[in-house]
Amino acid sequence: MGKIITVSSGKGGVGKTTTTANLGLGLAMLGKRVICIDADIGLRNLDVMLGLENRIVYDIVNVIEGRCELKKALVRDKRYPALKLLPAAQTRDKNAISEEDMENLAHQAAEITDYVLIDSPAGIEHGFRYATRPAELVLIVTNPEVSAVRDADRVIGLLEANGRAEAKLIINRMRPEMVRRNEMLDADEVVELLAIDLIGIIPDDQDILAAANRGQPVVLDDRSETGQAFRDITQRLEGADIPFLPLKGPSLLQKIFGR
Amino acid sequence: MSDEAPLTLKGTPQGLRLRPLTEDWAAVLHALQYALQDADAFFRGGRVILQLDQRPLTEAELLALRDLLERHDIELWVVLSDDSATQRLVRSHGIRTRLPGETAEPSPTAAPEDQQALFVHRTLRSGQSLNYPGHVIVLGDVNPGAEVIAGGNIIIWGRVRGIVHAGAFGDASALICALDLNPSQLRIASHISRSPDERRRKPKPEMAYIRDDHIVAEPWTMR
């Protein structure tokens, strides 16, 4: 049985889909079999970030409605075939599936893979509930800003109330120079408030956006610090004890000569 | 509440216990309405135990009370009466006449109801709310967006960033103590205060109470 992990946040736009894409590919790069499920029905994005948009034939709702086998709906990644994507339906909405549907689907997927990664919709409504329902582990993505942390706290509270899943924290878009200037919460403050285990800190990086637009997640770039941060998380998911990267701001020389 | 008040209203773990102190039902309803307005959010969704003892109740009086409570989203749950006509009347409206699992004699070791305390060993997160008629003790933090509302005192062994409301039934002698008291709002009885906007360097234990009609917070020093 594979491990079922949901990526969630409460707040939108903090980097859930980016994180799912990078962790999915990163785990596949380690030789693991991975199925990414895009649970954001009606607002499908994960396929674009993975560069798999034009290979989609069937989607999650087709599988749940029994019109197609799970295996047949999976889109195989062009770079790492161990990674497969179950795309969201773009023409339907979240009411097309129930919590039980998602639970059954995720467990069915877990039987044929090492990891099932579910990309949760934003919010705390039905979409969030069905996406987190089957999870053994929920990765909470937040940004070092007050509103994102507040929403993450709310989500963690809801998960605790259900008492099913363990939650771990990913702080995305960290900008060391802003922390140094005291303009941004630092990682310690975020962890102190949320009081759950930290599993990754992702630096803020323009390359992430460029990479997403090209459908080439940054985890593929072995010179990228951000890619390294994602690769470290995949190692930690595998149980390795990897120290956190020291977050380098621009050095003095880089500041003088420009980047 | 002073001795001349037409009723007493006491939070208990089972519900809000209402005891009229006068025969004048209009005065009772009037006073109740005031009390409910003051602490509307606290009572909302709750239930009332009306303790009448010997006093008989007419149907009009019963319905007037029930309507008033329903407007505040409160259920008239139990009417305790020694008068058999009143008991029949109450039952005919689908209201209980005794508390479930009520024992004849209260156990002698139990503390008076308004002195009971709830102990909570976890962090209250955004969106979570803790309401209790007695005192509340939290071993953990109260995060921004969370709230603790108590009829009595509140002690937080941790950081307070959300909303805390002590003495929610109007007890102005209620206290709030915390290891790091930096709430978005502090309420005692009907008083409200905000934390200073600037960020604090070194958190220290504090105790908040009402002095001269204002909420003051004083650092906790060992004497």
**A65-117 residue pLDDT tens:** 999 999 999 999 999 999 999 999 988 999 999 999 999 999 999 999 999 99
Burial of residue B175, with CB atoms counted within 10 A of its CB: 0-12 exposed, 13-18 middle, 19 or more buried: middle
Domain B113-219 class in CATH = mainly beta
According to the model, what pLDDT value does residue B103 have? 46
CB contact under 8 Å between A153 and B141, yes or no, is no
Q: Distance, in angstroms, between B4 CA and closest chain A CA?
A: 45
Residues of B in contact with A158 (CB under 8 A): 127
Query: Alpha-carbon Rg of chain B, whole angstroms?
Result: 20
CB contact under 8 Å between A153 and B145, yes or no, is yes
CB contact under 8 Å between B126 and A158, yes or no, is no
According to the model, what pLDDT value does residue B202 have? 78
Residues of A in contact with B141 (CB under 8 A): 193, 195
CB contact under 8 Å between A193 and B161, yes or no, is yes
Distances in Å between the Cα of A215 and the Cα atoms of A49, A87, A173, B160 are 5, 15, 19, 44
- Whether B113-219 and B7-92 are alike in CATH topology: the answer is no
Which residue ranges make up each domain of chain B?
A: 7-92, 113-219
Residues of B in contact with A151 (CB under 8 A): 126
CB contact under 8 Å between B125 and A157, yes or no, is yes
A154, A184, A189, A194, best to mutate vs chain B, most B CBs in 10 Å: A154
A153, A169, A190, A194, best to mutate vs chain B, most B CBs in 10 Å: A153
Q: Which residues of B66-92 are buried (b: 16+ CB within 10 A; e: fewer)?
A: bebbeebebebbbbbbeeeebbebbee
Residues of A in contact with B144 (CB under 8 A): 146, 150, 153
- How much is the ipTM here? 0.71
According to the model, what pLDDT value does residue B107 have? 44
Contact criterion met (CB below 8 Å) for B6 and B21: yes
DSSP readout, B113-170?
A: GGG-EEEE-SPBPTT-EEEESSEEEEES-B-TT-EEEESS-EEEEEEE-SEEEESTTS
Residue A219, domain extent: 3-240
Tell me, yes or no, whether A245 lies in a domain. no
Q: Which of A151, A157, A195 sits opposite B128 (nearest CB)?
A: A157
Q: Which of B141, B145, B161 sits opposite A154 (nearest CB)?
A: B145
Tell me, yes or no, whether A221 lies in a domain. yes
Angle at A95 between CA A89 and CA A98, to 5 degrees: 100
Tell me, yes or no, whether A258 lies in a domain. no
d(CA B41, CA B85): 35
Residue pLDDT tens, chain A, 259 long: 999 999 999 999 999 999 999 999 999 999 999 999 999 999 999 999 999 998 999 999 999 999 999 999 999 999 999 999 999 998 899 999 999 999 999 999 999 999 999 999 999 999 999 999 999 999 999 999 999 999 999 999 999 988 878 999 999 999 888 888 888 888 999 999 999 999 999 999 888 888 888 899 999 999 999 999 999 999 999 999 999 877 655 555 555 555 4
Residue A74's CATH number: 3.40.50.300
Counting as low any pLDDT under 50, the low residues of chain B are: 1-3, 103-108
CB contact under 8 Å between B126 and A157, yes or no, is yes
According to the model, what pLDDT value does residue B165 have? 95
Burial of residue A259, with CB atoms counted within 10 A of its CB: 0-12 exposed, 13-18 middle, 19 or more buried: exposed
Tell which CATH classification among 1.10.40, 1.10.287, 3.30.70, 3.40.1350 matches the domain B7-92: 3.30.70
Q: Among candidates B4, B2, B13, which has minimal Cα distance to B151?
A: B13
Q: Distance, in angstroms, between B45 CA and closest chain A CA?
A: 21
d(CA A201, CA A141): 10
DSSP readout, B45-111?
A: T-EEEEEEET----HHHHHHHHHHHHHTT-EEEEEEES-HHHHHHHHHTT-BSS-TT--SS--TTSP
Residues of B in contact with A160 (CB under 8 A): 122, 125
Residues of B in contact with A150 (CB under 8 A): 126, 144-145
Domain count across chain A: 1
What residues does B187 pair with on adjacent strands? B165, B192
According to the model, what pLDDT value does residue B1 have? 42
CB contact under 8 Å between B126 and A154, yes or no, is yes
Q: Which of A153, A158, A160 sits opposite B143 (nearest CB)?
A: A153
